[in-house]
Structure 1
Amino acid sequence: MVSSTFVPSLIMLSSAALAVASAIKPLRFANVKRQEAGWPDVIASSVINDTSSEFGLKSARWSSYEAPTFDAVFIPETEEDLSVGLEYFTRQNIPFLTKSGGHGYSTTLRQVQDGVLINMEKFNYSRVNDDFTATIGSGATFNDMVYAIGTAGREATVGSCPCVGVMGATLGGGVGRLQGLHGLASDAVRKVRLALWNGTIVEACDDVNPDLFWGLRGAGQNFGVVIETTFETYPATNDGFSYEAQMTFNASSLGSVVDAVNSLLPLDPALALVTIVAADPETLETVVLVNLVYAGPEDQGKEFAQPFVDLSVTTVESIISWVDLPTKGAGGFNNVQCIKGRRNSLYGLTNKVIDKPSVLEMADDFSSLVQANPALSASAFLIETFAVQGIDALPDDYSAFPHRGHLDHFFEIIVSYEDDSVAEVGDDWAMRWRDHFRNPNISGYDTVAVYQNYGHGDEAPSILYGSDEWRHERLTALKNSYDPQGVFNAYHPIPTAIEDWS
């Protein structure tokens, strides 16, 4: 049975919204401490180094697994500060990483050692313009964005976790519950203002730097530090209210839950499902949760939920505003996803089908893993099933995002722990099952595709950015043009030579 503490613990695991260690070369160009005396006067007061009492708070990130390390935090107050800082870091060969929400977890980030964290918290603003576009600063989280545009009677595709930074998620594509209606978050981007490696401030849109604009939407972490982004927004669906059902199941019902998910395919454009398999923290028994959100009338939402309700141990139904969904949805426990500092190792991929025999076998194996290693009890695997009509309505070359037509289900395997003694067994388990679900006979796709924001860090670039040669040529040309020094190589770097794509 499901214990009383299971649901809050399980929702923590739904955050999904890492290359072999020796294969990654550190970007350890300079020791920041030796550069302290040389900070330019205009930004010196915006630098916090690791002896400050504020350093831990300002440098904290969601995952401490294979993480970058920092000797200083730079908190620019203006774009001029940012420009000066970038020019200085590049000139002094100081590695740096930019933080919006701090949820990036790819193992490629560990290339940055003894670097500077650029904390964009002073750029946390969200405003709706007269033409109903929204201008979002790079320090804003999805919760900030949702509140601003939702209270104006508008909506857009956003991630499920309230504390994830808007910019980081959008630059990688930006999946979310409303993608069936409005496409990816990046599909709604109309203009980006950013600072390049040498501090130059540029804008990119359809009419200005259009090639850069194309690359920013899907591979954008490779080209600069975003200052702000302008998004198209849309009138609120169903007056801004959704039907939500939060349901728990015994492990013995998992096969029937998979059948129920499949019975709803293809999904209504306004429907989103998340299926989670995790461990009850008290009993360590495997349990299942489904979160169903429908941006439409309650009676239709109930109809979609009924196949699950018939199987569930518990069901909590509610009508919730889009503004409240990030923080109050799923019983309010989405906020637990924002806890920082655990070791979170994630493996993701996209599948065309949910192979029921494989899912059942994995659940049994997960039970054995947790029973033998209780320190892994916060681990889980989840399947996000979101509608795809809005994404697939756009042509394949619309942006650098490469996976249109390959987004039926997102599989995310999450190994979460605090005791390093279970690190190897947990990671081996996750990698083995990730590789199993990559098999074309299991995934339903001829090629492996991984949404780059869910990438572990050991994937070939063509898995993250697409296998088309024209994509490789275009992205490599952009990388060489806009980041010739490779200072933005810490997160899923684009190859600078065509032969390095495979």
Structure 2
Amino acid sequence: MALSGRFPPLKWVSLLVWLLLWAGEIDAARVRVDLRSLLTDPARGWSVNTTVSFPGSPEFVESTERWTIFRPPTYRASIRPGTEADIVKVIKLVTSHNIPFLVRGAGHSYTTTIGDLRDGLNVDLSQLKSVEVDKTAQTVTIGPGVTMADIFDPLYNAGFELQTGSCSCPSLIGVTLGGGVGRLQGHHGLVIDALVSARMITAQGKLIEVSRDSNPDLFWGIRGAGVNFGVVTSATYKVQPLTDGGDVLNVEFIFPPNMSSAYFRAVESYNDNLPSRLASVTFIGYDAPTGETRVSAGWTYFGPREEGIEALAPIFDVGVPAASLSMIPWNKLQASVGGGIDRLICQGNTVRDLYSLNLKNYSASTYEETFAKLEKFYADHPGGRNSVVSIEFFPNQAMAAVPLDETAYPWRDSTAYVNPTFIWAEGDNATKQAAGKLGRELREDFAATSGYDAPTVLINYARGDERLEQIYGRDKLPRLANLKKTWDPKNFFSYNNRLPTRYP
């Protein structure tokens, strides 16, 4: 279509709006309404456990707390539903009034795209924390406010385990909807591979069942891109008997600067042969007591102690004695690894800016370059010394055994995930600028030796500045776009790495 001639300004505006509507790319109009009056109207009929809060109140602060406050969303109100029926009411209310909103399970999402939400409504599901273990069916059914920490004891006490992520504080359902990588993915697969069914509220305000037998296309889509289609109010997972009775070998190492290269070469030796039950989370960070950059590595083996020690031979051969070696019950593993670093990692209301990437190749030279660049960053910017680069070395045997077309998740060949995480105090703009520059540089460095032809990242780790193909996979996008057009054509669920309604 060719356009020519001169148009008065108002006609240009009208033409532009028409073109956007014609192309199907304009969002539902967001109308500013009086949220206080709307939410507190007795006609709403909220349950006694549902609470509404507004800026300036302690309840609002608690309800909107986030893991990172880097480029956060802003809200004019928050609602904390006490029942599933009230969540349905909320979704019908916000969609009928075109109110921009975000759903919060545990406030752990860190993509910068959520910062596009301004003056919206926070829908906080954190009080819906039911956990029901069915020993006969070998399943667990959870509510949307359940974190990974909430399931460890109930499952362990019933004799079961479930693959989870690598820290305890995110919402389990939130982790699931993005795929769910973790230490057990080589043994049990991704978290989505354990998902049996979900109850979901659609953009139309309908409560539906999603499983292989009910809405199977949507079940395919929520396993890897689920935040785009609705609100999951409960999820049922297949659980597994405790591996080796539930005892996990945990070995912690601390490598001084002069031994870091030897450690990285040992890790590189696991290329293409990382045992299915062996996993590590390795940190490159600043050690305040010594004033040095160092490597700390926690290795876990889900099996007998002797087997684990044998599997760790390349690491022991570096020649640095283990800082600790112990058998830990599965339900206590997350809180114990790294000397209890999980508690520090889960601290909220902190500025964090992440530049994550998938890897399927281990590159000692890249890790060495990263170490050197971090050393310089710490020396030049003391305000950034809480920043770290974590590398999750997770095997992929069970996850890769699932056919790629089974779910929307596209990156089943990954065997590691790198997370450069930059932390600074609010107002320290010099460190902020330096962190952004180094973060982008490190992401490019890791991409060059990642084993992929182009950068890739799972949605839960995406920063938000990546191309859609790098998050969802080019081959998955046509089907995902069709699902988006079917289930959320007006883009109500639009602030977490939003899918298009057509592709290409």
**Does the CA contact (< 8 Å) of 1:95 and 1:112 recur in 2?**
yes
Whichever residue aligns with residue 500 of structure 2, its letter is P
1:36 and 2:36 correspond: yes
Equivalent in the alignment of 1:423: 432
Equivalent in the alignment of 1:359: 367
Which of 41, 52, 56 is residue 51 of structure 1 equivalent to? 56
1:368 and 2:373 correspond: no
Whichever residue aligns with residue 425 of structure 1, its letter is A
Pairwise CA distance, 1:467:
1.7
Equivalent in the alignment of 2:103: 98
Moved more, 47-56 or 451-460: 47-56
Residues 115-135 of structure 1: CA deviation (Å, up to 9, x unaligned)? 111111231111111311110
1:402 and 2:407 correspond: no
Equivalent in the alignment of 1:21: none
Pairwise CA distance, 1:88:
0.7
**Does the CA contact (< 8 Å) of 1:249 and 1:313 recur in 2?**
no
Report which of the two structures shows the higher radius of gyration computed on alpha carbons.
2
**Does the CA contact (< 8 Å) of 1:352 and 1:409 recur in 2?**
yes
Moved more, 56-65 or 142-151: 142-151
**Does the CA contact (< 8 Å) of 1:26 and 1:110 recur in 2?**
no
Q: Where do residues 233-244 of structure 1 align in structure 2 (5 Å cutoff)?
A: 233-244=239-250
SS at match of 1:221: helix
SS at match of 1:66: coil
Residues 209-246 of structure 1: CA deviation (Å, up to 9, x unaligned)? 00000000000010011100000011110100100011
Pairwise CA distance, 1:27:
9.5
SS at match of 1:84: helix
Whichever residue aligns with residue 449 of structure 1, its letter is T
1:88 and 2:93 correspond: yes
Distance 1:73 1:360 in 2: 46
Distance 1:361 1:37 in 2: 56
SS at match of 1:443: coil
Distance 1:118 1:212 in 2: 23
Distance 2:378 2:27 in 1: 33
1:464 and 2:465 correspond: no
**Does the CA contact (< 8 Å) of 1:349 and 1:410 recur in 2?**
yes
Distance 1:360 1:338 in 2: 27
RMSD of Structure 2 on Structure 1 (CA): 1.8
Residues 362 and 162 (structure 1 numbering): CA distance in 2 closer, same or farther, change over 3 Å? same
**Does the CA contact (< 8 Å) of 2:277 and 2:302 recur in 1?**
yes
Which of 166, 170, 179 is residue 164 of structure 1 equivalent to? 170
Distance 1:269 1:361 in 2: 28
SS at match of 1:403: coil
Count the aligned residue pairs.
Answer: 469
Q: Where do residues 30-179 of structure 1 align in structure 2 (5 Å cutoff)?
A: 30-31=31-32, 34-39=34-39, 40-43=43-46, 46-129=51-134, 130-179=136-185
Pairwise CA distance, 1:447:
3.1
**Does the CA contact (< 8 Å) of 2:268 and 2:363 recur in 1?**
no
Distance 1:285 1:240 in 2: 37
Residues 456-488 of structure 1: CA deviation (Å, up to 9, x unaligned)? 1111111111121xx222100100111111011
Whichever residue aligns with residue 446 of structure 1, its letter is D
Distance 1:312 1:205 in 2: 49
1:218 and 2:224 correspond: yes
Query: Can you give the 5+ residue segments of structure 1 that lack an aligned partner in the other structure?
Result: 1-24
Equivalent in the alignment of 2:338: 330
Distance 2:209 2:291 in 1: 52
Equivalent in the alignment of 2:441: 432
SS at match of 2:457: coil
Residues 123-160 of structure 1: CA deviation (Å, up to 9, x unaligned)? 11111113111101110000112222121111121012
SS at match of 1:146: helix
Pairwise CA distance, 1:306:
4.3
Q: Where do residues 179-258 of structure 1 align in structure 2 (5 Å cutoff)?
A: 179-258=185-264
Equivalent in the alignment of 1:478: 483
Identity over the aligned pairs, expressed in percent? 32
**Does the CA contact (< 8 Å) of 2:286 and 2:386 recur in 1?**
yes
**Does the CA contact (< 8 Å) of 1:170 and 1:185 recur in 2?**
yes
SS at match of 2:453: coil
**Does the CA contact (< 8 Å) of 2:285 and 2:295 recur in 1?**
yes
Equivalent in the alignment of 1:446: 453
Distance 1:347 1:311 in 2: 32
Equivalent in the alignment of 1:301: 308
Equivalent in the alignment of 1:497: 502
SS at match of 1:413: strand
Residues 369-411 of structure 1: CA deviation (Å, up to 9, x unaligned)? 1111011001111211111011011111010000112x12211
**Does the CA contact (< 8 Å) of 1:123 and 1:140 recur in 2?**
yes
